[in-house]
Amino acid sequence: MDTGVKEVELRDLWRRYKADGDETARERLVVAYSPMVKFVAGRLGAGLPSHVEDADLISYGLGGLIGAIERYEPERGIKFETFAMTRIRGSIIDELRSLDWVPRSVRSRAREIEAAQAKLEHELQRAPTESELATKLNMSEEELQTALLEIANSSVYALDELWTVSDSSGDQVSLLDTIADVAAADPQEALASSEIKDRLTEAIGSLPEREQLVVALYYYENLTLREIGEVLGVTESRVSQLHTKAVMRLKSHLQS
């Protein structure tokens, strides 16, 4: 992501902060990388209720950015943007969850749908249709779609979270954070990373075609839900439902 600051200047700022403890350099690094916070906040905010202010999300994310700058070790050879994105996102999510603004009934319904979906996939050996899932839950397809939309509008988990693990401090860290040296990666870490990527690829491949397309357009092409709706010829709320279903299926698949 373009920071608007030349690479040579960034390297100098990192050197001054990490080697000399220059707080002015630290402040300039925060400003240089602040567009990342706005980007992550914008992606998360697209699926949240309207009463959640973008300014609040950015404020939560700045804490994650500052923490990432303080923890980052340039000598490890990991790109800072990769290192920081997870922490910015995790900081926003942690703050949202601490506010506990998601109704208990929505949380309960999400667990019911996940359980029914997992059971049907095991029984049918394929992804269930919305009609089959609705029947399993003893509700109409319209009621299921409404429930999915409620979950989508109050949920802050997404595909990114399937790539994270907790370290000993409780922080959420990406798989890339565990690589000590890009020139000499630990064989066990490389194997673990490869296995998880293989499982995620397999899980995505098991999704219905439309949900695969939503995942690809949202996470790999960086399209918004509205833009995906224009591509598929459906409403933004329908895309939100498809995205929620896809993530729930992937979560169930990876946990099974």
* CA quadruple 216, 221, 227, 229: dihedral, nearest 10: -10
Q: Answer yes or no: do 64 and 131 share one domain.
A: no
Q: How high does pLDDT run on average in the chain? A: 79
Q: The tokens 């960034």 sit on which residue?
A: 10
Distance CA 100, CA 94 (A): 10
Q: Answer yes or no: do 89 and 216 share one domain.
A: no
Q: Answer yes or no: do 114 and 12 share one domain.
A: no
Q: What was the pLDDT predicted at 32?
A: 92
Top-confidence residue, 127 or 102? 127
Instruction: Give the whole-number percent of the chain exceeding pLDDT 90.
Output: 19
Q: Answer yes or no: do 87 and 211 share one domain.
A: no
Which domain does 173 fall in, by range?
7-100+158-189
Q: What was the pLDDT predicted at 3?
A: 56
Query: Within a 10 A sphere around the Cβ of 76, how many other Cβ atoms?
Result: 13
2 falls in which pLDDT band (50, 70, 90)? low
Q: What was the pLDDT predicted at 225?
A: 83
Give which of 215, 199, 192, 177 is closest to 90, Cα–Cα.
177
Distance CA 187, CA 192 (A): 9
- The tens digit of pLDDT for each residue in 18-56 reads 988 899 999 999 999 999 999 888 887 776 666 678 888
Give which of 149, 140, 119 is closest to 245, Cα–Cα.
149
Q: What was the pLDDT predicted at 103?
A: 66
Beta strands in the chain (DSSP E): 164-166, 172-174
State whether residue 170 is helix, strand or coil. Answer: coil
